[in-house]
């Protein structure tokens, strides 16, 4: 009875983790379209997005404490500060890589995030990646390769190195959250604020006009806080490699939203590769959910 109950709880936790992470990945897909609508330099975007994310997440934390009497800290100890710094580093590496290499190279290299997460989990947490997840990662990488095939090789070694650093930091950060098991979902707020402070000297302008404020507010007050909090919460319930796979939703869906919003038509390769990635994520999630249910029935 005890073993069955434990297995059912694990299956329920896994379902919760998949749902949270999927929602976070979906929110993340709206980041790029909104930044395109803001149409400002990357450093100015980091400044305002960082400030808005900090205010939104900090405001939610304060409201939650007052409404429920919760004593949950805003930054959960040393682990919270480490995750904040990792979030800041990934943000800066991403923006600088975007400046020095092509979008195609950047997207492809960032797609290595699940492999880095799996590697760190194996070396540090002794957590093996099951065959289904490994096959899903490889299939998703094939989809990414199809999407960016035409643009590969036109970047720079320095920019590609920055992108590789970003993928490494993301994979390590997810593994760190997995190891901590603490609630670190608000740590990205501090990381965003630190990144904003670093970006100020590089910003071409520190003011926005008209509709730019609306799009930046949607991004900074809604999209990024929800995406960051959910994706950081995910490793508490599922493996870091599985969480990292849902980052690929942005690779697939962001170009579709940009197409619908600004009329930038995605290439045939983007549609084919995106279909492969979406199918892979769906089949993997269904497989993992089915595996959890079968284990619960056997031990129940």
**Portion of the chain with pLDDT greater than 90, in percent:** 44
Stretch 79-91: mean pLDDT, rounded?
96
At residue 300, the pLDDT reads 54
Domain range spanning residue 113?
Answer: 2-299
Stretch 63-80: mean pLDDT, rounded?
92
At residue 12, the pLDDT reads 84
Handedness of CA 241, 247, 249, 252 (dihedral sign): negative
Quickly count: other Cβ atoms within 10 Å of residue 71's Cβ: 6
Assign 1 a pLDDT band (cuts: 50, 70, 90).
very low
Cβ atoms of residues 152 and 297 within 8 Å = no
Q: Which of 20, 19, 32, 21 is nearest to 218 (CA)?
A: 32
Assign 270 a pLDDT band (cuts: 50, 70, 90).
confident
At residue 140, the pLDDT reads 87
Assign 120 a pLDDT band (cuts: 50, 70, 90).
very high
Assign 3 a pLDDT band (cuts: 50, 70, 90).
low
Average pLDDT of the chain to the nearest whole number: 87
User: Based on C-alpha coordinates, what's the Rg of the chain?
Assistant: 19
Stretch 63-89: mean pLDDT, rounded?
93
Number of domains in the chain: 1
**Measured CA distances, 252 to 170, 180, 256, 283, 285 (Å):** 18, 30, 7, 16, 17
């Amino acid at each position: 009875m005890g073993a069955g109950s434990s297995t059912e709880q694990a299956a329920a936790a896994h379902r919760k983790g998949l749902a949270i992470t999927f929602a976070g990945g979906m929110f993340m897909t709206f980041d790029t379209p909104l930044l395109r609508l803001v149409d400002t330099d990357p450093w100015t975007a980091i400044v305002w997005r960082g400030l808005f994310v900090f205010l939104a997440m900090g405001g939610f934390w304060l409201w939650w404490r007052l409404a429920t009497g919760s004593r949950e800290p805003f930054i959960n100890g040393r682990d919270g500060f480490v995750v904040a710094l990792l979030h800041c580093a990934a943000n800066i590496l991403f923006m600088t890589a975007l400046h020095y290499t092509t979008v195609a190279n950047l997207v492809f290299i960032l797609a290595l995030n699940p492999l880095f997460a799996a590697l760190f989990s194996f070396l540090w947490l002794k957590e093996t990646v099951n065959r289904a997840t490994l096959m899903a990662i490889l299939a998703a990488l094939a989809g990414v390769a199809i999407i960016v095939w035409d643009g590969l090789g036109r970047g720079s070694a320095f920019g590609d190195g920055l992108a590789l650093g970003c993928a490494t930091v993301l994979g390590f950060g997810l593994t760190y959250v997995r190891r901590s098991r603490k609630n670190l979902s608000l740590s990205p707020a501090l990381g965003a604020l630190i990144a904003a402070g670093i970006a100020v000297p590089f910003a071409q302008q520190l003011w926005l006009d008209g509709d730019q404020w609306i799009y930046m507010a949607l991004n900074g007050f809604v999209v990024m806080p929800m995406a960051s909090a959910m994706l950081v919460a995910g490793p508490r319930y599922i493996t870091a490699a599985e969480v990292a796979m849902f980052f690929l939703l942005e690779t697939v869906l962001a170009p579709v939203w940009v197409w619908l919003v600004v009329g930038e038509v995605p290439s045939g390769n983007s549609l084919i590769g995106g279909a492969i990635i979406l199918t892979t994520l769906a089949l993997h999630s269904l497989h993992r959910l089915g595996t959890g249910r079968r284990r619960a029935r056997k031990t129940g």
